[in-house]
């Protein structure tokens, strides 16, 4: 075994993204390091798929941290990360352990986590990822890493080819990686806002959404085209019982972080403010419909409503009608 590959690897947090990434890490270490991933999740049953792959569940974060050299964290937001860090710090001895956080949080949260762990002689790397759950499942995320160079060397085997299609080394300051992710989230949210507005105009002016989508594919790149597909193919409003690619509530949190970072340096993200307003209104639509989960692209539905259209586009209406007809047979 190469010296930069820890013997015991742990994973904390098995949301849709965390579970997908943890499965890829388990497959890798079982084959390459001849070891088994340790994992912990608040809802233990989420680890069933990992156990089928040979991973080992832990009863607590303290047990996992005690047993592991390298611990990945994947959780939902800043509050959840702070709670996990507090539980890690409650472990008596964390000297020399390396913690890698893949969560999208505010850069200030990252900086505080780094400082707390440094004070206990542990290392910390921020490694937020770009991509939705299907991309995580295929191991094709883009990962931004920042932290001490020795720690980055230890994590390298788990990056490109395991968790990610490519890894960007941003800085030796972990908070710079989450700032990079925040900027990426702003660009994504702004793109979805622009594409949503353009698609509504194309629909109302009878140019047609398919024609515009072809233009986006041929002339404006993958992000524009994939954002359009999330709208025209109904991803923005998942079927009843289906999980979104990227949860709306987390998307709102991400855009708020971007606005906060801009305000902190005397700048302003005006497009983010517009996108945030539509996302918050989409959440109100969700609340009015029994808390139906929406994708972070669901601001498109609000743009439709503001133009006199239904929140549901034709694709969604036909899809849901087919489902209702099938369930009634």
Query: Please, what is the Cα angle at 58 between 54 and 63, to 5 degrees?
Result: 135
String of DSSP letters for 23-56? HHHHHHHHHHT----EEE-SSGGGGHHHHHTT-E
User: Which two three-digit tokens encode residue 91?
Assistant: 């472990």
Q: How far apart are CA 214 and CA 207, in angstroms?
A: 12
* Dihedral angle of Cα 44, 247, 144, 85, to the nearest 10 degrees: -40
Backbone φ and ψ for 130, nearest 5 degrees, come out as -110, 125
164 strand-pairing partners = 141, 160
Q: Which residue has the tokens 């109302």?
A: 204
CA dist., res. 170 & res. 293, Å (int):
33
The answer to whether residues 53 and 23 touch, using CB atoms and an 8 Å cutoff, is: yes
Buried b / exposed e over 144-183, threshold 16 CB at 10 Å, is bbbbbeebbebbebbbeebbbbebeebeebbbbbbbbbbe
E strand spans, the chain: 9-12, 38-40, 56-57, 70-73, 98-101, 123-126, 129-130, 141-146, 164-171
Residues contacting residue 2 through CB under 8 Å, at least 6 positions apart: 157
Task: Assess whether 176 carries a catalytic annotation.
Answer: no
The tally of CA atoms less than 13 A away on the side-chain side of residue 313 is 28
**If residue 210 lies in a helix (H) or strand (E), which one and from where to where?**
helix 209-219
| Residue among 111, 176, 181, 253 flagged as catalytic | 181
Catalytic residues: 181
């Amino acid at each position: 075994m190469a010296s930069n590959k820890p013997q015991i690897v742990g994973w904390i947090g098995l949301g849709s993204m965390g579970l997908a990434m943890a499965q890829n890490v388990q497959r890798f270490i079982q084959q390459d390091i001849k070891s088994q991933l340790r994992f912990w999740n608040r809802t233990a049953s989420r680890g069933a798929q990992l156990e089928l792959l040979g991973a080992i569940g832990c009863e607590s974060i303290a047990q996992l941290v005690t047993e592991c050299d390298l611990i990945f964290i994947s959780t939902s937001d800043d509050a959840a990360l702070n709670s996990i860090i507090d539980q890690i710090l409650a472990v008596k001895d964390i000297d020399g352990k390396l913690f890698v956080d893949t969560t999208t949080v505010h850069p200030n949260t990252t900086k505080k986590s780094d400082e707390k762990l440094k004070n206990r002689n542990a290392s910390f790397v921020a490694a937020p990822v770009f991509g939705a759950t299907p991309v995580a499942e295929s191991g094709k995320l883009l990962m931004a890493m920042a932290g001490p160079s020795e720690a980055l060397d230890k994590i390298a085997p788990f990056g490109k080819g395991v968790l990610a299609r490519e890894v960007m080394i941003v800085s030796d300051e972990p908070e710079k990686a989450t700032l990079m992710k925040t900027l990426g989230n702003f660009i994504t949210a702004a793109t979805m806002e622009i594409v949503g507005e353009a698609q509504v105009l194309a629909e109302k002016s009878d140019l047609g959404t398919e024609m515009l989508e072809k233009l986006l594919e041929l002339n404006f790149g993958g992000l524009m085209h994939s954002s359009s597909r999330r709208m025209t193919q109904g991803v923005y409003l998942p079927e009843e019982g289906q999980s979104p690619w990227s949860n709306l509530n987390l998307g709102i949190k991400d855009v708020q972080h971007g606005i906060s970072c801009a305000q902190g340096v005397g700048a302003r993200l005006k497009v983010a403010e517009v996108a945030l307003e539509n996302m918050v209104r989409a959440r109100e639509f969700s609340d009015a419909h029994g808390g139906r989960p929406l994708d972070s692209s669901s601001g498109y539905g609000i743009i439709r409503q503001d133009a006199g259209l239904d929140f549901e586009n034709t694709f969604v209406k036909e899809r849901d009608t087919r489902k209702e007809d099938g369930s009634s047979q």
